[in-house]
Amino acid sequence: MNELLSIAEAAADGQAIRGFAKLMNHICALYTCGESSSVSELEGHELAESALYVLGLTGETAQQTLGLLASDDIVAIWTQKRSELESRIPGVMELWQRVIAVMPPIRNIALRDTLASIGRLPQAYDTFFAAHEVPASIDYPLSKPLSEQLKGLDYVEAWLARLLEEAQFLARFDADEMTAYLGAWCPDYRGLLINLYDPINEAWRAGEIAPRLE
């Protein structure tokens, strides 16, 4: 965050800093229900991270959207951007439903709990004060980790898209055969934090398991 604000100050001759201060005063007033504009250092840092995420001032889009902080009505822009972020939630939940529909019935606690947690996203996601946080407990590991630059809803959306690809691959195989193979490969595959795609993919490449005939 400090790096972004330093760039903004140099690029906009302080106007961006004044705009960001105005926005933070507004957000802090909402956060404290108008009783005060003063928050702790930790709270202020998290609120600032949330605001920057809503505006698109994090990750790869930071440089392109830096000028927003110098806007005459940064609060209105933040409000609009926050509404746009919320409008993406139904699409993310549709992606979640597709994953559930495609994923074979392989019991794995981390996968089950992660998908259940994402299912509560519409109620859990706080676009006002914690938009940058991942609004779910995602413990199930993907075959290939996502970029560490992804935050908030962007992370969940990318995670689900990657998991859907893995689920579509697993759906090509018989669930009972996969369960038997996984049980032999790792007796506690249900309880451990392991990815299910990797061992099935390796077994398929080794000719130890074959897709169902269409």
What are 50-82's pLDDT values in tens digits? 999 999 887 666 666 677 777 789 999 999 999
| pLDDT at position 3 over 50 | no
**pLDDT classification of 198: cutoffs 50, 70, 90:** very high
| pLDDT at position 188 over 50 | yes
For the chain, give the secondary structure using H, E and C: CHHHHHHHHHHHCCHHHHHHHHHHHHHHHHHCCCCCCCCCHHHHHHHHHHHHHHHCCCHHHHHHHHHHHHCCCHHHHHHHHHHHHHHCHHHHHHHHHHHHHHCCCCCCHHHHHHHHHHHCHHHHCCCCCCCCCCCCCCCCCCCCCCCCCCCHHHHHHHHHHHHHHHHHHHCCCCHHHHHHHHHHHCCCCCCCCCCCHHHHHHHHHCCCCCCCCC
**pLDDT classification of 13: cutoffs 50, 70, 90:** low
43-52, 164-173, 197-206, range with the lowest pLDDT: 43-52
Per-residue pLDDT at 65: 66
What are 82-134's pLDDT values in tens digits? 999 999 999 999 999 999 999 999 999 999 999 999 999 999 999 999 999 99
